[in-house]
Amino acid sequence: MVELTGGLRADAKTRPDGALDVVSLVVPFYNEADGVETFFREVTSVLERIPGIDYEIVCVNDGSTDATLEQLLAVCAENARVRVVDLSRNFGKEAALTAGIDEAAGAAVIPFDADLQDPPEAIARLIERWREGFDVVLAKRAERSTDTYMKRGTAALFYRVHNAISETVIPENAGDFRLMSRQVVDALKLLPENRRFMKGLFSWVGFRTAQIEYERQPRAAGETKFSAWKLWNFALEGLTSFGTWPLRVWTYIGGGTALFAIVYAIYLALRTVIRGVDVPGYASIITAVLFLGGTQLIGIGVIGEYIGRIYMESKRRPVYIVRQVYRRDAA
Which CATH number covers residue 111? Answer: 3.90.550.10
| 61 and 157 part of one domain | yes
Q: What pLDDT is attached to residue 329? A: 65
Mean pLDDT of the 87-111 span: 88
Q: How far is CA 113 from CA 18, 34, 256, in A?
A: 31, 14, 46
* 277 in any annotated domain: yes
Q: What is the DSSP string of 15-60?
A: -TT-PPEEEEEEEEESS-GGGHHHHHHHHHHHHTTSTTEEEEEEEE
**Is residue 183 over pLDDT 70?**
yes
47-73 pLDDT tens trace: 888 888 888 999 999 888 888 888 898
* 14 in any annotated domain: no
pLDDT: is 21 or 39 the higher one? 39
Q: What burial class does residue 237 get, using C-beta atoms within 10 Å of its C-beta: 0-12 exposed, 13-18 middle, 19+ buried? A: middle
Beta bridge partners of 84: 59, 326
| 203 and 288 part of one domain | no
**Is residue 155 over pLDDT 50?**
yes
In the structure, what pLDDT confidence band is assigned to residue 3 with cuts at 50, 70 and 90? very low
0.75 surpassed by pTM: no
**Is residue 9 over pLDDT 70?**
no
Which amino acid is residue 253, in one-letter code? I
The length of the chain in residues reads: 331
What distance in Å separates the CA atoms of residue 203 and residue 161, rounded to the nearest whole number? 16
Q: What does the mean pLDDT of the chain come to?
A: 76
| 25 and 153 part of one domain | yes
| 62 and 81 part of one domain | yes
pLDDT: is 239 or 289 the higher one? 289
What distance in Å separates the CA atoms of residue 145 and residue 34, rounded to the nearest whole number? 24
pLDDT: is 3 or 306 the higher one? 306
Comparing 78-87, 200-209, 240-249, which segment has the lowest mean pLDDT?
Answer: 240-249
Q: What pLDDT is attached to residue 311? A: 76
* 16 in any annotated domain: no
| 199 and 291 part of one domain | no
Cβ proximity of 8 and 56 under 8 Å: yes
Q: What pLDDT is attached to residue 60? A: 92
| 93 and 25 part of one domain | yes
What distance in Å separates the CA atoms of residue 26 and residue 38, rounded to the nearest whole number? 17
pLDDT: is 82 or 149 the higher one? 82
Beta bridge partners of 141: 214
Q: What pLDDT is attached to residue 10? A: 32
Report the percentage of the chain scoring pLDDT > 90: 5
**Is residue 29 over pLDDT 70?**
yes
Cβ proximity of 60 and 97 under 8 Å: yes
| 85 and 218 part of one domain | yes
* 28 in any annotated domain: yes
Which amino acid is residue 254, in one-letter code? G
Cβ proximity of 120 and 47 under 8 Å: yes
| 250 and 278 part of one domain | yes
| 276 and 156 part of one domain | no
Torsion angle defined by CA atoms of residues 271, 276, 282 and 288, in that order, rounded to the nearest 10 degrees: 20
227-279 pLDDT tens trace: 565 656 656 665 666 666 777 777 777 777 777 777 777 776 777 777 766 55
Number of structural domains the chain divides into: 2
What distance in Å separates the CA atoms of residue 60 and residue 30, rounded to the nearest whole number? 8
| 156 and 263 part of one domain | no
Which amino acid is residue 189, in one-letter code? K
pLDDT: is 41 or 268 the higher one? 41
- Which residues neighbour 329 within 8 Å (Cβ) at sequence distance 6 or greater? 3, 5, 80
| 130 and 190 part of one domain | yes
Q: Which domain holds residue 262?
A: 245-314
What distance in Å separates the CA atoms of residue 21 and residue 109, rounded to the nearest whole number? 11
Q: What pLDDT is attached to residue 224? A: 58
* 233 in any annotated domain: no
What distance in Å separates the CA atoms of residue 42 and residue 63, rounded to the nearest whole number? 24
Which amino acid is residue 106, in one-letter code? G
Q: What pLDDT is attached to residue 238? A: 58
| 167 and 259 part of one domain | no
Q: How far is CA 81 from CA 44, 104, 320, in A?
A: 10, 12, 23
Q: What pLDDT is attached to residue 4? A: 40
Q: What pLDDT is attached to residue 223? A: 60
* 41 in any annotated domain: yes
* 230 in any annotated domain: no
